[in-house]
Amino acid sequence: MKELVVLSGKGGTGKTSLVGSFAAIAQSKVLADCDVDAADLHLLLSPTAKEENEFWSGQVALIDEEKCTKCGICQDICHFHAISDFKVDPISCEGCGFCYHVCPDEAIMMKDCLSGHWFISETRYGPLVHARLGIAEENSGKLVALVRQNARSIAEREDLKYIITDGPPGIGCPVISSLSGANLALLVTEPTLSGIHDLERVVGVCHHFGVPALVCINKYDINEDNTRQIERFCSGQGVEMVSKIPVDNVFTEALIRGLPVVEYCRNGVSKEIGRLWEAISTRLGRQ
Amino acid sequence: MIISVASGKGGTGKTLVATSLALSLEEQVQLLDCDVEEPNAHVFLKPNFTKRESVYVLIPRVDEEKCTHCGECSEICAYNAIAAMKKKVLVFPELCHGCGACSYLCPEEAISEVGKEVGVVEIGHSNSIQFAHGTLNVGEVMAPPVIRKVKEHANHEGTVIIDVSPGTSCPVVESIRGSDLCLLVTEPTPFGLNDLILAVEVLRKLDIPCGVVLNRAGVGDSGVEEYCLKENIPILLTIPLDTQIAGDYSRGIPLVEGIPQWRGHFLELFDRVRDMVQNEPSQ
């Protein structure tokens, strides 16, 4: 079993559109949507939920007004400035329990938080593990780890060849949680100065965690000078640039119909995506 | 007045809107780029930086001479960031939130808090625009401490524009808290709509009013407009899908510099935002 994670640094470069297409092309796989705070893959795969689970993670402090003597110790020691006027702001509270431990009146309790939900679903392309982080909740990294862990169990149980993971944008907590221990990262970028800047940072994260990476330049023809710059950067970093996809409105048209682009049209970009998947599976096979 | 620019979905044009809005204003304006994982506003504004500050989180350092391996620290740590073995205490800095509980509660006073750099904040200006941004170090997980440090530089005398990271989780909440209004930039596609709905829920929870900027209008469907109408969320600016706009963006040219007529549209946007903030019942 091999795990591919699709990342980009910059958002909106086409990660989910590509993962949706890989879902339609690849045989023997489980899909995982690790962009848990803005998950979109389900919009292309029309899943039917088979299992819905609560994600309890972390705690939040709560002050019992009747027991509180307003000594103020909790407010002084909280490193997150989450307590004022002897009330806890649940959004600032990081659930460390420092206040709970020091309160001389035992007036503080720690409450468990329902931080989201995760699902195992069936799609016409195979099983999908996905999640929804609660609104303004923390611990997205832990929810990502849970999604990956369940995708891995399914792959083991059903003896599937691939785990294909749609990752979040950025380079922080949920990205690192999506990446660490994966066999290969596909980095989807675009030839804009922002795209290049963000690609450089996400390549750095892959190097840092020792995950080999391939690069795909989406909308390569909006600025071919920048595309060449990305190609030079990749060869300097020892990262293979495996695919260039042109601008094409069929991505949006397919999305509006709720279809992966390779199912919506058979030509042009779809052929290129087919070649891209072949390059990925060949690379995964070599590992 | 603090205006944050967020989106839910990535790549919808937050930085384009934030930079062009800042460039359009004649009054005192500051741009804070709080997308510390992938900051990009500097690509467009090319600021001169005059100051650079490291951002530290406090992590525990155990004095093995004083430690009696009682295990209190690992019991109280909510993040499993400190593990007391029989003869040694292990600290896992990447799990530590820097709450300080272990250091304060250690009965032997064997734990001190030491700073670990997780990112940097740079401060400067681009012509008349005051500018600050944060950069999370590669390999670090926790963006919020860097975001808090950027926001410490907010100059409340003028207008502050905050460029926010995509998504709806802690870095977004940390960036938009305290804003008078949040502009949500989206695109007319099912992905754009799905993530807009999530972002609106976050803003409602934080009790921050919002307006929508619809980017790349012309392709896609009418889902976003129908949703905004139903939820009574104003669409404050519409930017069409346009090859010149995309080309200028790819070269790091701000919209209002590539096509100066857009300045008027951004000034209208600003007027509408100011009206909304002034008429907000809770203000």
Residues of chain B neighbouring A95 (CB-CB closer than 8 A) = 78
Look at B40 and A204 and tell me if their CB atoms are within 8 Å: no
Q: pLDDT per residue over A128-137, tens digit each?
A: 999 999 988 8
User: Is residue A71 located within the same domain as residue A164?
Assistant: no
User: Confidence class of residue A222 from pLDDT cuts 50, 70 and 90?
Assistant: very high
Reduced to 3 states, what is the DSSP secondary structure of residue B218?
Answer: coil
Q: Is residue A275 part of a domain?
A: yes
pLDDT of residue A287: 79
Q: Is residue A16 part of a domain?
A: yes
User: Is residue A197 located within the same domain as residue A256?
Assistant: yes
A189 pLDDT higher than 90: yes
Look at A16 and B191 and tell me if their CB atoms are within 8 Å: yes
Q: pLDDT per residue over B107-150, tens digit each?
A: 999 999 999 999 999 999 999 999 999 999 999 999 999 999 99
Q: Is B201 on the interface with A (CB under 8 A)?
A: yes
Taking the C-alpha atoms of residue A203 and residue B25, their distance in angstroms, rounded to an integer, is: 36
3-state SS record for chain A: CEEEEEECCCCCCCHHHHHHHHHHHCCCEEEEECCCCCCCCHHHHCCEEEEEEEEEEEEEEEECCCCCCCCCHHHHHCCCCCEECCEECCCCCCCCCHHHHHCCCCCEEEEEEEEEEEEEEEECCEEEEEEEECCCCCCHHHHHHHHHHHHHHHHHHCCCCEEEEECCCCCCHHHHHHHCCCCEEEEEECCCHHHHHHHHHHHHHHHHCCCCEEEEEECHHHCHHHHHHHHHHHHHHCCEEEEEECCCCHHHHHHHCCCCHHHHCCCCHHHHHHHHHHHHHHHHHHC
Residues of chain A neighbouring B201 (CB-CB closer than 8 A) = 135
pLDDT of residue A105: 97
Taking the C-alpha atoms of residue A37 and residue A140, their distance in angstroms, rounded to an integer, is: 7
User: Is residue A204 located within the same domain as residue A275?
Assistant: yes
Q: pLDDT per residue over A241-284, tens digit each?
A: 999 999 999 999 999 999 999 999 988 999 999 999 999 999 99
Look at B202 and A135 and tell me if their CB atoms are within 8 Å: yes
Q: pLDDT per residue over B147-171, tens digit each?
A: 999 999 999 999 999 999 999 999 9
Residues of chain B neighbouring A194 (CB-CB closer than 8 A) = 15, 38, 40, 43, 249, 252
Q: Is residue A52 part of a domain?
A: no
Among candidate residues A73, A96, A114, the one where a domain is terminated: A114
User: Is residue A208 located within the same domain as residue A75?
Assistant: no
Look at A222 and B246 and tell me if their CB atoms are within 8 Å: yes
Q: Is residue A265 part of a domain?
A: yes
CA distance A261 to chain B (A): 14
Look at B250 and A193 and tell me if their CB atoms are within 8 Å: yes
CA distance A35 to chain B (A): 8
User: Is residue A87 located within the same domain as residue A204?
Assistant: no
Closest Cα in chain A to B174 = A92
Among candidate residues A93, A114, A135, the one where a domain is terminated: A114
CA distance A79 to chain B (A): 5
pLDDT of residue A191: 98
Domain boundaries for CATH 3.30.70.20 within chain B: 57-117
Q: Any residues with CB less than 8 A from the CB of B82 and at least 6 apart, and which?
A: B60, B62, B73, B74, B89, B90, B91, B92, B96, B102
User: Is residue A169 located within the same domain as residue A110?
Assistant: no
Query: Two tokens at A29?
Result: 């796989």
Look at B173 and A91 and tell me if their CB atoms are within 8 Å: yes
Residues of chain B neighbouring A94 (CB-CB closer than 8 A) = 97, 99
Look at A38 and B167 and tell me if their CB atoms are within 8 Å: yes
CATH code, A23: 3.40.50.300
CATH code, A95: 3.30.70.20
CATH 3.80.10.10 fits B57-117, yes or no: no
Look at A11 and B143 and tell me if their CB atoms are within 8 Å: no
Q: Is residue A54 part of a domain?
A: no
Residues of chain A neighbouring B191 (CB-CB closer than 8 A) = 16, 40, 43, 255
User: Is residue A69 located within the same domain as residue A136?
Assistant: no
Residue B78: strand pairing partners: none
User: Is residue A63 located within the same domain as residue A161?
Assistant: no
Q: If you average pLDDT over every residue of chain A, what do you get? A: 96
Interface A:B, Cβ pairs < 8 A: 184
Q: Is residue A51 part of a domain?
A: no
pLDDT of residue B282: 57
Which runs of E-coded beta strand occur in chain B?
A: 2-6, 29-33, 48-62, 82-84, 89-91, 111-126, 129-136, 159-163, 181-186, 210-217, 235-240
pLDDT of residue B280: 81
Q: pLDDT per residue over A114-156, tens digit each?
A: 999 999 999 999 999 999 999 888 778 999 999 999 999 999 9
pLDDT of residue B283: 43
Question: Looking at chain B from residue 254 to 273, which residues have their Cβ under 8 Å from any Cβ of chain A?
Answer: none
Total of domains in chain A: 2
Look at A96 and B97 and tell me if their CB atoms are within 8 Å: yes
CA distance B231 to chain A (A): 18
Q: Which domain holds residue A222?
A: 2-46+124-286
pLDDT of residue A147: 98
Q: Is B248 on the interface with A (CB under 8 A)?
A: no
User: Is residue A72 located within the same domain as residue A212?
Assistant: no
Per-residue burial over B45-70, b if 16 or more Cβ lie within 10 Å, else e, is bebeeeeebebbbbbbebeeeebebe
User: Is residue A168 located within the same domain as residue A245?
Assistant: yes
| Mean pLDDT confidence for A179-205 | 97
Q: Is B92 on the interface with A (CB under 8 A)?
A: no
A236 pLDDT higher than 60: yes
CA distance B88 to chain A (A): 23
User: Is residue A93 located within the same domain as residue A21?
Assistant: no
CA distance A207 to chain B (A): 9
Domain boundaries for CATH 3.40.50.300 within chain B: 2-55+119-278
CA distance A157 to chain B (A): 30
Q: Is B249 on the interface with A (CB under 8 A)?
A: yes
CA A81 to each of CA A254, A265, B32, B151, B262: distance values in angstroms, whole numbers, following the listed order: 47, 54, 22, 15, 41
CA nearest neighbour of A247 among B216, B105, B51: B216
Chain B interface test: which of A252, A259, A261, A264 (most B C-beta within 10 Å)? A252
Look at B167 and A80 and tell me if their CB atoms are within 8 Å: no
Q: Is residue A53 part of a domain?
A: no
User: Is residue A195 located within the same domain as residue A239?
Assistant: yes
Closest Cα in chain A to B119 = A172
Taking the C-alpha atoms of residue B86 and residue B82, their distance in angstroms, rounded to an integer, is: 13
Q: Is residue A271 part of a domain?
A: yes
**What does pTM read for this prediction?**
0.95
Question: Looking at chain B from residue 137 to 156, which residues have their Cβ under 8 Å from any Cβ of chain A?
Answer: 138-143
Q: Any residues with CB less than 8 A from the CB of A210 and at least 6 apart, and which?
A: none
Residues of chain B short of pLDDT 50, as ranges, are 283
Q: Any residues with CB less than 8 A from the CB of B271 and at least 6 apart, and which?
A: none
CA distance A276 to chain B (A): 22
Closest Cα in chain B to A92 = B174
Residues of chain B neighbouring A133 (CB-CB closer than 8 A) = 168-169
Q: What share of chain A has pLDDT > 90, as a percent?
A: 95
CATH number for the B2-55+119-278 domain, one of 3.40.50.300, 3.20.20.70, 3.40.640.10, 3.30.9.10?
3.40.50.300
